[in-house]
């Protein structure tokens, strides 16, 4: 969800807590570690605030208006040199992550944002998503990876 803060617009992702025995403090510590590691990465926006309550976990990051998906389908279309510049920045963002030992976990067009001056920012780091999904429970796939929402 998009929300407004004192500093401007933010994205708030909400994780409803159905099972209070989940070790959410571990995930919170991991996300805070990722934030610290990426503090000097110019092409990455990790989550800036993580809040745990009894009923939900909230992760908050800066809002950027356009995803790469949006930008690729919006006029004026990108020129070849702009596409190359964006590609270079994506690769450099990955270099910045891997240099400090951070895995993104969910790279897709919607998680690569582009500013009005074609500056690329990698967002929504999700190394907390499961690596394996049970074959007999497709609900986990829909919950963590469904892009139709």
List per-block mean pLDDT (blocks of 10 residues) for the chain, which spans 149 residues: 90 92 91 97 97 95 97 96 98 98 94 97 86 73 64
Predicted local confidence at residue 1, as pLDDT: 85
Mention the CATH class of domain 2-145: mainly alpha
Tell me the domain boundaries of the chain. 2-145
Distance CA 39, CA 97 (A): 11
Q: Please name the residues in contact with 116: beta carbons below 8 A apart, sequence gap of 6 or more.
A: 65, 66
pLDDT of the residue at 145: 66
Active site residue 19: no
Specify the pLDDT at position 8.
92
Instruction: Write the DSSP string, 41-65.
Output: -TTEE--SEEEE-SSEEEEEEE--S
Q: What's the pLDDT at 113? A: 98
pTM (two decimals):
0.85
| Cα angle value 35/9/83 (rounded, 5°) | 75
> Which of the residues 33, 106, 124, 140 is marked catalytic?
106
């Amino acid at each position: 969800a998009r929300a407004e803060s004192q500093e401007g617009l933010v994205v708030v992702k909400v994780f409803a807590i159905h099972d209070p025995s989940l070790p959410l403090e571990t995930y919170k510590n991991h996300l805070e570690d990722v934030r610290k590691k990426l503090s000097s990465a110019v092409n990455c926006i990790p989550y800036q605030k993580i809040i745990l309550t009894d009923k939900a976990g909230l992760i908050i990051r800066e809002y950027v208006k356009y995803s790469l998906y949006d930008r690729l389908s919006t006029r004026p279309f990108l020129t070849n040199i702009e596409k190359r510049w964006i590609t270079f920045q994506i690769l450099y963002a990955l270099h910045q992550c891997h240099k400090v030992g951070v895995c993104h976990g969910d790279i897709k067009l919607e998680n690569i944002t582009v500013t009005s001056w074609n500056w690329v920012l990698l967002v929504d780091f999700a190394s907390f998503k499961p690596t394996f999904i049970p074959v007999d429970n497709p609900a986990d796939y829909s919950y963590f990876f469904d892009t139709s929402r």
